[in-house]
A and B are shown apart, each in its own frame.
Chain A
Amino acid sequence: MADGFELGGRTWASRLIAGTGGFRSLSDMERSLAASGTEIVTVALRRVDPLAQGSVLDVIGRLGLFALPNTAGCYTAQDAVKTARLAREAFETDWVKLEVIGDDRTLLPEAVELVGAAETLVGEGFTVLPYTNDDPILAARLEDAGCAAVMPLGSPIGSGAGIRNPYNVRLIVERAGVPVILDAGIGTASDAALAMELGCDGVLLASSVSRAKDPVAMATAMRKAVEAGYESRRAGRIPRRLHAQASTPDEGMASLD
């Protein structure tokens, strides 16, 4: 990639953040994460299962990735704050992907609880990366609260429905003073490219790779899509026109009648 990506006071080479959920095996996950080129992967915390085989941490360690804990499954600010504190202890990091959801049907963010949790966690010294709606006003509120990035959804988690409101994503990008990471809803490579073309600084995706028929191939596609979208944005696209504009000059046409 052409240049680094500043997030949370560190510089990253990859603009793709990958989730680790939904893979059919740890081996699929390892090969896919390697193919994606990602440096940051999200992980969750759940009660210890004495029968669990293998650990996501082994894979993350082998690949030299940064584990970003999430607060997936939390419905209140209080739950999310407590989960973040546990994650800080478990992972020895004060970074957290903050998720506070409103119901289990849409998994859409609970905006009021989200802002409350963000304020508390920023006050406790966390580097807070909030999963949020594609709402420019809410994104600004989260930035004002001291979040290190804003991570608007393209569409509901795991839906693969792409970016339903590109105009709102543009509005978020336009006014944001922190990195904007498109989080949730990516279904295929063109969705990731579109996010970058809209001016997002990065893309966070999980299911589109982990649940693809061939996760390793899709991870490769996503790496290329994020890079292509970023380069395309920097290159500056031509304006859309109603009518054609010839790229071959008219002058000098041979007279063949």
Chain B
Amino acid sequence: MIVDLNGRATPLPEGSTLADAVAAAGAGGDDRGVAVAVDGEVVPRPQWDGRALAEGEDVEVVRAVQGG
């Protein structure tokens, strides 16, 4: 299955969840200050494990950075 992960077409195994996508984006180890949206809608952290991904979904994984 291919999902659009942070703007890049990313292959993930069938049956992958949002938690897998967070790990694939590089935020698996330290997910403090991380938030996730699928197709523009925020998915709360407690739902990451149970949220199955579908082909072509747009996943954004963001975290805190320095800013003005």
B62 contacts which chain A residues (CB < 8 A)? 45-48, 86, 90
What's the count of A-B pairs with C-beta under 8 Å? 99
In the complex, are the beta carbons of B68 and A46 less than 8 A apart? no
In the complex, are the beta carbons of B35 and A87 less than 8 A apart? yes
In the complex, are the beta carbons of A89 and B44 less than 8 A apart? yes
B37 contacts which chain A residues (CB < 8 A)? 82, 85-86
**Which residue of A has the minimal Cβ distance to B45?**
A89
In the complex, are the beta carbons of B68 and A21 less than 8 A apart? yes
C-alpha spacing A109/B45, complex, angstroms: 32
C-alpha spacing A69/B32, complex, angstroms: 14
Interface size on B, residues (CB 8 A): 25
Counting CB contacts under 8 A, is B13 at the interface? no
A19 contacts which chain B residues (CB < 8 A)? 67-68
Chain B stretch 15-63: residues in CB contact (< 8 A) with chain A = 25-27, 30, 32-37, 40, 42, 44-45, 60-63
In the complex, are the beta carbons of B67 and A72 less than 8 A apart? yes
C-alpha spacing A4/B56, complex, angstroms: 51
Counting CB contacts under 8 A, is B6 at the interface? yes
Sorting the interface of chain A by its residue count into under 10, 10 to 19, 20 to 34 or 35 or more gives 35 or more
**Which residue of A has the minimal Cβ distance to B63?**
A48
In the complex, are the beta carbons of A90 and B35 less than 8 A apart? yes
Name A43's contact: one of B27, B34, B61, B67 (CB within 8 Å): B67
In the complex, are the beta carbons of B26 and A55 less than 8 A apart? no
C-alpha spacing A120/B45, complex, angstroms: 23
How far apart are B52's CB and chain A's nearest CB, in angstroms? 20
How far apart are A158's CB and chain B's nearest CB, in angstroms? 8
C-alpha spacing A52/B25, complex, angstroms: 12
In the complex, are the beta carbons of B65 and A45 less than 8 A apart? yes
Name A56's contact: one of B40, B60, B64 (CB within 8 Å): B64
Counting CB contacts under 8 A, is A91 at the interface? yes
- 0/1 per residue, A46-77, Cβ < 8 Å to B? 11111110011100000000010110100000
A72 contacts which chain B residues (CB < 8 A)? 67-68
A43 contacts which chain B residues (CB < 8 A)? 33, 64-67
How far apart are A125's CB and chain B's nearest CB, in angstroms? 14
How far apart are B46's CB and chain A's nearest CB, in angstroms? 11
In the complex, are the beta carbons of B33 and A90 less than 8 A apart? yes
A56 contacts which chain B residues (CB < 8 A)? 64-66
5 CB contacts below 8 A, A to B, read A47-B25, A48-B62, A49-B26, A82-B42, A89-B35
Minimum-distance CB pairs A-B, first 7:
A44-B67, A50-B26, A19-B68, A90-B35, A206-B68, A89-B35, A20-B66
